[in-house]
Structure 1
Amino acid sequence: MGSLFRSAEMTLCQLFLQSEAAYACVSELGELGLVQFRDLNPDVNAFQRKFVNEVRRCDEMERKLRYLEKEIKKDGIPMLDTGENPEAPQPREMIDLEATFEKLENELREVNQNAEALKRNFLELTELKQILRKTQVFFDEHEGGANPTESMTRALISDDCIARQSTLGPVQLGFPEKDFDPEEYFPCFVAGVILRERIPAFERMLWRACRGNVFLRQAEIETPLEDPSTSDQVYKSVFIIFFQGDQLKTRVKKICEGFRATLYPCPEAPADRREMAMGVMTRIEDLNTVLGQTQDHRHRVLVAAAKNIKNWFVKVRKIKAIYHTLNLFNLDVTQKCLIAECWVPVLDLENIQLALRRGTERSGSSVPPILNRMDTLEDPPTYNNTNKFTSAFQTLIDSYGVASYREMNPAPYTIITFPFLFAVMFGDIGHGLIMATFGAWMVLKEKPLAAKKSENEIWNIFFGGRYIILLMGMFSMYTGLIYNDVFSKSLNIFGSSWRVANLTKEDLKTIGSDYTLNPMTTHDYSGNPYPIGLDPVWQLAENKIIFQNSFKMKISIIIGIIHMLFGVIMSLFNHLYFKNMVGIFAEFIPQIVFLVFLFFYMVILMFIKWLKYFANIEKKDFIYGTRCAPSVLITFINMILNNKTPFEKECLTSDMFPGQIYLQRFLLACAFICIPWMLLAKPLYIMRSRKNTSYSVSHQQMQSATENGDAEQPIHNNTSQAPVAHGGHEEQSLDEVFIHQGIHTIEYVLGSVSHTASYLRLWALSLAHAQLSEVLWNMVLSKGLTVDGWVGGVALYVIFGLWGILTVSILVLMEGLSAFLHTLRLHWVEFQSKFYSGNGYSFQPFSFEIILDSATQAKEEV
């Protein structure tokens, strides 16, 4: 059986590689991706392994590449991705790569340092230019007699503060608002630049520390300035502080230093200020030229690096992966050969041999590698070969638990059952069409969408399950056709089979708004059922829910019991493959008998009821009418309780067929016998086989003693000796076997009841989805159809948009997610519990493709 239906057959191999050829051989195996190596040095520290220096060199190269990538992204330069997959470079090529990366990093760091120094000089000159301009405005206003407070903020000085400070010294601070000359009161001043958000705290600190003996003016710099360290845009303000005396000068400078304000020289004479401003402008122009040339050089370096950085990352990561793998190997005593152990698929041994041969030829070695199969009692890993279509379904199964080695794989059957069970709950042609269209778009645009590699986690989940979404939408369209449901409306393709005959409009008016179609009269029913699915008239019927309740509930039970039966039959294939005859006779047979004789019998009763009882029955055949049709649920409950089902006298009997009561008693008795059968058969068989094994060992010891002439010596029965392995149960004590089997039996018996009831979610969610769709139609979209004229067109346009948004967000996304989760539960619990243990571990081969994908995903998450 192929690896799709059952995991691939694996074998443990021992690999001998010559030291010179080991790198090339491991590189070829990484490209192939079919070998899982084991760590033969589990007790050796990672820093004490043979190739730790090579791994460190790769880490250093990867760090340099990340630095280059960061700088490329900072400048917004697109990185060329040709989709190529370069081979892993040879060890001698590592030196060239290291030299290239070292040169690029040093050149880029030098350019960045020079650019930062130039930007810092440019910032200082720009701030000095602003100081000269703002202070010139202040002095010009003073010379012109203007009030200085009209253009610049006068801080920290109020009338009451002036009055309080006027007695502190010879300096008279009670100056008038007009004709005030700060140079006359404060002959000393400093000018600088400070961050705008620090101005209020700066003013308060100056006032408190200098006791009001300063005069501060500040003006905002309109354009933001670039911080050379972080490249952020910051807003600053120019300030000038007037004071008197060296003591205040020292105090003011310390406060400026504490607030990280930058002080600049500002000449007192206007001519000197103008001369300095002209010099500053000249230097700024020169700096602009040099900065442009520096940025052009940096851009050229980064553009050249961007063309190859993707391939460089691939090469470095492949080299690093190879040396990580070589660290798992052992050296032989001659130090010339590397020994490895690995799990490989048996069917791919020839491909692995060819890859090893190619690696040997690439390395130029004359000694071919040796690959030997080994015997082991260790459980092999589980390997299911998948493609882009089956991988999504396999992921759903593995999320519950990886299959045990060579256990039946539920994934291929899930490809059909999963979208079908989903569609039973999500049956609507319109909603299914929306979902199928979205899935088909992702499938058709698969390559360009995969190349974008979005960082959105929700989108990646949708894209990974694109084939599941496509199938769920298509199956939903099919079940929507069966339900005849399109956005809560019906399709009248073949014409309704119901007819209202002999009634005029006046008759309908007198009857009222509701008219119940009577199935017992031939004039209401044409006699031919609707060809596919439900008759469209049911969407208009007031008793639609009553009819669909019975129909969908019975369908859910039928589908659920068939699904569970299929799971039990799958366990038979597991028992046959592992040659577990005990499992067949002690587990499978009583399980299938219990499920068929009780629950599948209930399904048969449903079909008998559908085929035997009709609504349009003549009076002479009254016993086959709907009134005499017994309830399947009541019949089943009375069967379990061994009670008689009540019936009306006119119906003559509650049985659907002759001898039903006796058949039910027989089936019930057989089902009850299956319970102790499941509980005791397997433990008793194991106990008996262990006794026989112990007796056989004692008998062999007696014969051996007799042949050696030691028959007269007493023979001691070594009861502590482990019995011969049989079915893998020798590791458990008998108590554990009985307890385990008891739990398994109780779980199966009670689970058969609870799992059958669990499938009623198919019925419940189907009805809920249909009713929610109908409510959305009646309460939203129908409102736009009640308005006439051009106003109605506008209203319908707006209301249709609202209805579309609610339909997609609630009915497609939320209801779809709900149905998806319920379907997942039905497969994980109700279906897979019958045959699937899921106690294995997945096959994780050494594959460059997997390693590169994991590295890309990790980088996107960061």
Structure 2
Amino acid sequence: MKAIYHILNLCSFDVTNKCLIAEVWCPVNDLAALRGALEQGSRKSGANIPSFVNRIPSNGTPPTLLRTNKFTSGFQNIVDAYGVGSYREVNPAPYTVVTFPFLFAVMFGDLGHGVIMVLFALWMVLCEKDPKVKRNRNEVWRLFFEGRYMILMMGLFSIYTGLIYNECFSKPLNIFSSGWSVRAMFTELQWTNETLSTNSLLTLDPNVTGVFNGPYPFGIDPIWNMASNRLTFLNSYKMKMSVILGVLHMTFGVVLGVFNHLHFRQKFNLYLVFLPELLFLLCLFGYLGFMILYKWLAFSVRDSRTAPSVLVHFINMFLMKGSGEPALYPGQMVVQVLLLMIALLSVPVLLLGNPIYLYWLHHGARNQGTYRGYERVQRGSVEDLSVTLSQDMEEGFALGDVLLHQAIHTIEYCLGCISNSASYLRLWALSLAHAQLSEVLWDMVMRLGFRGDTGVGAVLLALVFSLFAVLTVSILLLMEGLSAFLHALRLHWVEFQNKFYSGTGIKFIPFSFSLLQSGLDQDVLIGEV
């Protein structure tokens, strides 16, 4: 009753018709249901004046309604934690469904840990209708239960990356048989038992004719687990992979901004904002990704030691000078100078293009009688420069404010491309840390259980395995999983969403007495319906 009176007090009273008028936001698709509910209420109450709905024009920015289900709600909550999207702004949540668990799995890639995570998530999914599980009030449990589908996706992607890294509890799986034939090396290079007993390290040559069986079909060859330079190889592989994934992720974020420009009728931003941003990113860091891929494809094992350094060439690109190392491809110097010039020229276009165009739109085009106005369709958006025609007539065009806004955006974007590209190296760092911590846990704990071969050894193995399982779940799954989750969250909030998403909108909260009751119990009145 208290909640009903509270809602009635929010309505306006029409003295003439002696009725209440409520102004609310309602989704267009739900207008029919709203009319039906009002008609049913009027019929059951026997009111003399029937209740009805009128759509009235409004200059206010509508709240944002994003319909979700039990699968997408967790990913939408991640986006909303950064900021609720403005009305009709591009929503990152559908893309986050794929990119978030994938980036998490790049840092958490382990087949065994992924299987445990999938089994835990499947248990929560299968028991989601169980009242005992669903109504548990433990706060930590509620967090896990609400994100059960997200955990399931992260576990599935971790299984995939674990197969790529060929790691299962830090140990490789020889599924397809190694591409290195060590037995044939004994015959080809005249290795004997004395050779093996007197040398702690031996070098295998993949170029021996008839010995190398070809590349491993899927993932990392398991023989790398025995190599002394295993860490060096995996470091180089994961670091370059992180750069490529980072450039692709940021480029995708810049491209999504096109839909905002088109929807809000700001097509000039395609040439004055989107194109300079894309050229600056691709001419510098996109080219770095190209050099990494080109080096992988152009140089084989035979000439790998003479392959030039990508980092040295990238640094010399900014210095506009050649290096002592051989070029990656013919005409490399000319291409690098051209790309650098394009990137530098895109900065003044990004800085001055938008303000100059809006200044001309306000003064030059309007004086010539061709000015049709600049429609403001979104309040508080990144691209909203507050230059509506009616306001321009009264307040004038504030060129200084527009220049300041664009200067901040340009500096933030150009410096952000550098820092954001470096930030994606956390994919390499956390993947390496997770693999090394898993290996240390196996060597220091699990290996103790294999030392005995009697009945006492079996008991010892059971005790050691119990300790290993507890440490694996508590450290590698919970602590390392939470760390990878937070870093993947940062990559989406800072490196991806800031390229196109403002997150300055207001979330649409449907009317519900259940929501009002909790506020009224605490004597807190809700000011909006």
Q: TM-score, normalised by structure 1?
A: 0.56
Matched, 1:434 2:121: no
Matched residue of 1:635: which SS?
helix
**Equivalent position to 2:349, from 644, 653, 677:** 677
Residue number in structure 2 paired with 1:556: 242
Match of 1:530 among 216, 226, 237: 216
Map of 1:760 onto structure 2: 425
Match of 2:309 in 1: 631
Shift of residue 332, structure 1, vs aligned partner: 0.5
What TM-score does the superposition give when structure 2 sets the normalisation length?
0.90
1:628 is matched by which residue type in structure 2?
Answer: T
**Aligned residues of 1:591 and 1:674 also touching (Cα < 8 A):** yes
2:101 is aligned, of 419, 436, 439, to 419
Please name the residue that 1:383 is paired with: 65
Aligned counterpart for 1:540 among listed residues 218, 223, 226: 226
Shift of 1:335: 6.0
> How far apart are the structure 1 equivalents of 2:52 and 2:241?
60
Report 1:546-695 matches (<5 A).
546-616=232-302, 625-647=303-325, 654-692=326-364, 695=367
Q: Confirm or deny: 8 A CA contact 2:75 2:150 kept in the other structure.
A: yes
1:324-403 alignment to 2 at 5 Å? 324-334=6-16, 336-365=18-47, 367-403=49-85
Q: Which structure: greater strand fraction?
A: 1
- Structure 1 pair 422–686 and aligned structure 2 pair: CA distance change class (3 A): same
Tell me the CA shift for residue 658 of structure 1: 2.0
Task: Provide the rounded CA distance (Å) in 1 between the counterparts of 2:338 and 2:116.
Answer: 51
Match of 2:408 in 1: 743
| 2:114/2:156 contact within 8 Å kept | yes
Gap regions ≥5 residues in structure 1: 1-53, 56-319, 617-624, 648-653, 700-721
- Counterpart check, 1:819 vs 2:484: yes
Distance, in Å, in 1 between the alignment partners of 2:410 and 2:321 is 26
User: How far apart are residue 627 of structure 1 and its match?
Assistant: 2.6
Q: Indicate conservation of the 8 Å contact 1:693/1:724, yes or no.
A: no
- Which amino acid counterpart does residue 691 of structure 1 have in structure 2? H
* Alpha-carbon distance in structure 1 between the residues aligned to 2:241 and 2:49: 67
C-alpha displacement of 1:505: 5.4
Equivalent position amino acid for 1:488 in 2: S
CA shift at 1:733, angstroms? Answer: 2.1
Contact kept, 8 Å, 1:690 with 1:723, in 2: the verdict is no
How far the C-alpha of 1:582 sits from its partner, in A, is 2.6
Distance 1:771-1:856 versus aligned 2 partners, 3 A rule: farther
Do 1:686 and 1:729's aligned partners in 2 also have CA atoms closer than 8 Å?
Answer: no
Whether contact under 8 Å (1:554, 1:606) holds in the other structure is: yes
Cα distance in 2 between the residues matched to 1:674 and 1:738: 16
The residue type equivalent to 2:24 in the other structure is C
Answer whether contact 1:564 1:834 (CA < 8 A) is retained: yes
1:840 to 492, 499, 505: 505
- How far is 1:667 from its partner? 1.0
Q: Residue type matched to 2:173 in 1?
A: L
Q: Secondary structure at the match of 1:338?
A: strand
SS of equivalent to 2:23: strand
In structure 1, how many angstroms separate the alpha carbons of the residues matched to 2:77 and 2:47?
42
The one-letter amino acid paired with 2:440 is: V
- Specify the alignment match of 2:471 in structure 1: 806
Q: Which runs of 5+ in 2 are unaligned?
A: 372-386, 524-529
After superposition, the C-alpha distances for 1:299-358 in whole angstroms (9 at most, x for unaligned) are xxxxxxxxxxxxxxxxxxxxx3x3322221011013621111010112222222222222
Whether the aligned pair in 2 keeps the contact of 1:683 and 1:741 (CA below 8 Å) is yes
User: In 2, Cα distance between the equivalents of 1:437 and 1:331?
Assistant: 58
Q: Verify: 1:784 aligned to 2:466, yes or no.
A: no
Q: Could you tell me how far apart the structure 2 residues matched to 1:328 and 1:478 are?
A: 54
Find the residue that maps to 1:344 and give its secondary structure: coil
Aligned length: 502
More divergent stretch after superposition (508-517 vs 371-380): 508-517
- Cα 1:851–1:440 change in 2 (3 A) is farther
The residue that corresponds to 2:205 in the other structure is 518
Kindly indicate whether the alpha-carbon contact (under 8 Å) linking 1:517 and 1:524 is maintained by their aligned counterparts in 2.
no
Counterpart residue type for residue 841 of structure 1: I
What amino acid is the match of 2:71?
Answer: F
Cα distance, 1:805 vs structure 2 = 0.6
Residues 419 and 475 in structure 1, CA contact (< 8 A), matched pair in contact too: yes
Residues 64 and 508, structure 2, Cα contact 8 Å, conserved in 1: yes
CA distance in structure 2 between the partners assigned to 1:780 and 1:556 by the alignment: 31
Select the structure of larger CA radius of gyration: 1
- Structure having greater relative contact order (Cα 8 Å, sep ≥ 6): 2
Q: Distance in 2 between matches of 1:505 and 1:786?
A: 29
Q: CA deviation at 1:365?
A: 3.2
CA drift of 1:508 comes to 4.0
For 2:340 and 2:323, the matched residues in 1 are separated by 16
Q: Which region of structure 1 is more displaced relative to structure 2, 517-526 or 559-568?
A: 517-526
Partners in 2 of 1:345 and 1:405 — Cα distance? 12
User: Which amino acid in the other structure matches residue 773 of structure 1?
Assistant: S
* Deviation per residue, 1:380-435 (Å, 9 max, x gap): 10110111111111111000111111100000100000000000000000011111
